[in-house]
Structure formats: structure tokens, C-alpha cells
Structure 1
Amino acid sequence: MFKKVGAGIMAAAIAFSASSCASNAGADQDKPLTIGLSIGIESDFFNQFRQAMEDEAKKEGINLIAFNAKGDPNAQVNHIQDFIVQDADAIIYIAAGAGAAGVPVKNARAADIPVVTVDRNPGDSPGDTFIATDSVASSKRLGEYVIEKTGGKGNLGIIQGQVGTTPELDRDKGFTEAMKSATGIKEVARQASKLWGQEEGFTIAQDMLSAHPELSVIFARADGMALGAAQAVRGAGRDDIQIYGHDGDPAALQAVLDGTLVATMTQQNQHMGRLAIESAVKLARGEEVPKEQLQEAILTTKENAAEFLKTHP
């Protein structure tokens, strides 16, 4: 069902990046590799990533050293320094936010260690390869579904992710593109979160409902925030507001089945986790990988949520 975005059509245009890391290019093919993993924030979405990476690393006999910064960019700088000291062969990096996100990549590069960036890619210092969902395409598809379900009319509130991060920028771009064809949908509220969290979604939605009781649609850029928004909507005694998320977290998939959320976009967390390990190994051994590896997400409604709840891609 899933495929890499642009396969076939874009194959000829993909730019490849040979590892520039001289110390890793001649790595012994039989030597057990050490890969460092720095995860920026705590969430169900990234927990699935981590589990997939740990399973793949164990399967391939790779020493995976994993840390979670829990939203602290400074902690990630320390993570990378630890990986450098431990002579890691490659690093998988999921930035905590937009601010100073490129510093860990620059430090790793200075130590001749290749970096796989996942979900967000620092603009000033991108990874040797970037793995993520094509959030522009996924959010555009979700926006089209919102138009379909609302008949192109309503008052919209948007709960943003971290301002300046790759997924927030791309989801804004895709959803905004879809909304251009729905002049009857009016955006009446917009507020950013700091960590894409459920508690933030709850608080932001409460504020929106208080300031804009005419609200009829909420798009939260991540499922955790969508679930928080749903709590606020229920608490306000409202059953006339459609709520949409993005990610395909198990709790959100169940909420779609229950009718709490109208829809979400399911990302290929398991696949991308395995792909991150595979790419890190290739870079460590001096092999070529695409500079960008964007994956497809699928619109998930009551009709297909159970499939992904049973077996997450």
C-alpha cells in the first residue's frame, strides 16, 4: 500500500550523497558498528521510531546507544559529544526543535561522523541523508478530506507544532495549499505548541473555544495535540466540532475508530525506523544514500484505522 514518494517519477532527479567521512569510508564490513541515537522529544510517535530502530539494530548485531533529550537542545549537544568520545560510526539525530538544531550535526561532521536526520532537518546543517514523511503531501491530502467532510464551510482553528521545525513548516504548506480551494472555511484561530504535547493541545483548544465559540473544525498538527483538543471539546460539552490529527499514533487510531477524531494521517514509523538504521550503516561503510528519503502517509478514517491499529507500518 505504501511507497516512497516520488519513486519512478523522481528517481532520475535524486541526488546521492557519498559519505565524506574518511574515517568511516574504509570501515571493516565485518566489524560490529556503533550507532548513536539522539531523540529530541518524548512522544508515542518517536517511541515507535526508537523501538523499530532498536529491533533492527539487534537483528543486525549493531551496538545502538540511545538517549532522549526530552525537549532540551543542549542535552542533544552533549549526546553528540558522548557519541564522538565513544567513536560512533554514525549518528541518527531527531532534533528537539528549530533553535540551534544544526549544532549537533556540525559537531558530528567535524569529527568525521555521518549523520542521519529524521523527521526534522536543520536548514543550516542538513544531515547526510534525511528521512521523513512527505508532510506537504500528507497535509494537503488531509486538507482535501476536511473540505470533503465539512462541505467546504466552517470556522477553523489550527494547533501548530514547534514553529520553525521541518514538520510544522511542511504541514502548514500542504494544508494551506488545500484550503485555497475552500473559500467557505475561515481560519479564526492559530496557536503554536512547544513540544507537540497532549497537555498543550488541551490548553490551546480551551483557549480557542473560549475566544472563538464559533469554532467548528480543529486541525492539530500532531495526534497527541489532537487528543488533547478532543478532551477540551468534550469538557466544553461540544459535539459539533470536527477534530483532525496527523501521525497515526495508536491512541489516535483508536480515537478515529471511536469517532473522537474524524481522521489522521498514518506515518510509516516502523519502516522509517528500520530505514534509519539501514542508512546509518551504509553511510558508516562509505556507501551512497539519497540526500532525502521522503515516505508516504495514508489518510486514515473509520474505514481503515483498525488495519493500522493491528499492524502499524
Structure 2
Amino acid sequence: VVAVAVVGATSLLHNGSSGGKDQKIGLSLSTLNNPFFVQIRNGAEEEAKKLGVDLTVTDAQNDASQQANQLQNFVSGGLSAVVVNPVDSDAAGPSVRAANKDGIPVIAVDRGVNKAQTSALVASDNVEGGQLGAKALAEKLGGKGTIVILQGQAGTSASRERGAGFAAGLKAYPGIKVVAKQPADFDRTKGLDVMTNLLQAHPAVDGVFAENDEMALGAIKALGAKAGKSVQVVGFDGTPDGLKAVEAGTLYASVAQQPRELGRIAVQNALRAAEDKKVEQTVKVPVKVVTKENVAGFEG
């Protein structure tokens, strides 16, 4: 059996001797009404084609019960492995446990599954992303200045990990002072409101780190003409609107996830699990900083 590398499997044979030849994998995505998840699907389909894997993709349309039905069909259909991007991490648990019972390995992508055994979780490295965001903002400010932080929804792993990474990255820049941090719940309108209030208390702020692009875009609206001029803003996710703002110069940078890579690597790991090969419990997919210099070539 030909081994599949966890990242960038490009050397498999395509003449029928590939390990993926007889493998059938199901992918249930939370929604395809979002460019991020469409990119995960595209990456998964590209990798399946390359590895000679028969991949079935379903769209749960953000409905946990619909996803449960899809997963049940995958299990009863005798697939070799299942990849799931849960609508709801708790609600996906029973379906994944049913797959476990039938000896079908399950790979979670982008979001974990609670109270069930997944062979691997393939997700973006949020801690590394926070560190990269700190470096990008601090270097743009020349290593000195005052900044505010817009935090995501309290209690979410994304907010916690991005915030921790940012704090760790900022330690290398003692000239940068955080004068305020406040949650805006990953929401654009709340980002606008919170930033408006923060500006009243800190009118001379030099920079903003927002834990997602939506809040960053709200902050940019609050900043008006200052955004990208006297105040530098860094977001996170690399959403289409975020990248447009980077192009326009109002958002200095976005720490972009690579959803195509998430899809590709999820399929690689599903195949490894189906063939009883070792897979890492957690597979962190690198993120990258997108600025005006490289935004044109960024495929998201």
C-alpha cells in the first residue's frame, strides 16, 4: 500500500495501485452557502481526484438533523471513512458514535465533535494566527504605539486561541501597549459599536487587532478616514469582504485561513485512517498573513 503524506501528497501512482483506488469517503459540510466551506469542498474534491478516492459530498444547510441523516446514510452505505464539518459539535456526537460502533473512522474538519471519537481534527492553527497578527501589526507600527483588541465571542475556542497567540506574539514588542480589549462577538455591527465607544476613551489609538474580519470591518467603519492612515487594523479569516478591504488599504492585513488546504488534508487523513495507518489526533493547517502586497495571488 502506498503511504499518503499528511501534507502535500503528490507522489501517489494513478495506475490502479494507489491505496485510494477502492476507498469511498463521505464528506458532510455544515453549509455550502458560504465561500469558506465551498473552498473546503473544492480542496477535498481535488485531493480525492488526485488520490483516486470516490468522494461523496453533502450539504447540511446548517441543519443539525439533516446532517445527522446524511451521516447515518454514510454509515449504512458502507463507506471507508467519513469527514464531517459539524453544524453543531454536540449534535454531531451521536452520529459519529454510530460510525465508531461500525468501525468507520471519522475525521472532523474546521470544527471538532463533542462526546465522540474522531480519528483526527483538521483545523487552522489559531494560536499561530494570533502570533502572526501581532507581528504584522507591531511591525507596521514600527514597534511602538497604543492598540485596542476586539475579541470574539467569549468561550469560543477561536477567540481564546487567537487572543492567546496575539498576546504571546506581542511580548516581542515591548513598545506596543494594549490600552483596551473588549468582546464584539465576531459581529460587524458590534465591532462598529464597540470601536466607536473605545475611540471616545482612546482617541489617539494607533492600531486595532480584531479576532475576525467582520469585527475588523466594523472597526474600519467606526474609524472612517483614519483607517489605513493614522490607524492600522489587522483582522483574521481572509473573508472575501476582508480581502477587498485589504485591497482598498483600509485593512492593513488579514490572517487568512486556507480552507482548500483544510479540505485536502482532511481527505488525506481520511484515507490514512481507512487504511489503518497512523493519523495525528490534531492536524493544524498553517494560516498566512495577507497584505496589499500578496492579496492578488491569494486564493483563499
Give the TM-score range, shorter chain: 0.7 to 0.9
Distance 1:124 1:131 in 2: 17
Q: Is the 8 A contact 2:151 2:183 kept in 1?
A: yes
Superposed CA offset, 1:167-213 (max 9, x none): 333212211223455562222422224xxxxxx32x11222134322
The residue that corresponds to 1:186 in the other structure is: 179
Please report the TM-score for the alignment, with normalisation by the length of structure 2.
0.76
The equivalent position to 2:191 in structure 1, one of 173, 197, 205, is: 205
Provide closer, same or farther for how the CA distance between residues 296 and 89 of structure 1 changes in structure 2, counting only shifts above 3 A: same
Considering only aligned residues, what root-mean-square deviation do their CA atoms show, in Å? 3.2
Uncovered stretches (5+) of structure 2, i.e. residues with no partner = 1-5, 8-18
Q: Is the 8 A contact 1:39 1:94 kept in 2?
A: yes
Q: Is the 8 A contact 1:116 1:130 kept in 2?
A: yes
Provide closer, same or farther for how the CA distance between residues 63 and 47 of structure 1 changes in structure 2, counting only shifts above 3 A: closer
Please report the TM-score for the alignment, with normalisation by the length of structure 1.
0.73
Provide closer, same or farther for how the CA distance between residues 209 and 250 of structure 1 changes in structure 2, counting only shifts above 3 A: closer
Distance 2:190 2:183 in 1: 9
Post-superposition offset of 1:283? 1.6
Provide closer, same or farther for how the CA distance between residues 82 and 256 of structure 1 changes in structure 2, counting only shifts above 3 A: same
The equivalent position to 1:117 in structure 2, one of 96, 104, 108, is: 108
Distance 1:250 1:85 in 2: 38
Post-superposition offset of 1:134? 1.8
Distance 1:51 1:307 in 2: 18
Provide closer, same or farther for how the CA distance between residues 241 and 299 of structure 1 changes in structure 2, counting only shifts above 3 A: same
Post-superposition offset of 1:114? 0.9
Superposed CA offset, 1:39-76 (max 9, x none): 36853222211122133334535131322342x44443
Aligned residue for 2:236, secondary structure, equals: coil
Aligned residue for 1:92, secondary structure, equals: strand
Q: Is the 8 A contact 1:45 1:249 kept in 2?
A: yes
The residue that corresponds to 2:16 in the other structure is: none
- Residue 149 of structure 2 corresponds to residue 157 of structure 1: yes
Uncovered stretches (5+) of structure 1, i.e. residues with no partner = 6-27, 194-199
- Count residues with an aligned counterpart: 274
Distance 2:197 2:217 in 1: 20
- Residue 233 of structure 2 corresponds to residue 243 of structure 1: yes
Q: Is the 8 A contact 1:117 1:126 kept in 2?
A: no
| Structure-to-structure mapping, 1:1-313, within 5 angstroms | 30-31=21-22, 33-39=24-30, 42-59=33-50, 60-70=52-62, 72-97=63-88, 99-100=90-91, 102-122=93-113, 124-125=115-116, 127-150=118-141, 151-160=143-152, 163-180=154-171, 182=174, 184-193=177-186, 200-201=187-188, 203-213=189-199, 214=202, 216=205, 217-230=207-220, 232-233=221-222, 238-239=226-227, 240-308=230-298, 312=299
Aligned residue for 2:58, secondary structure, equals: strand
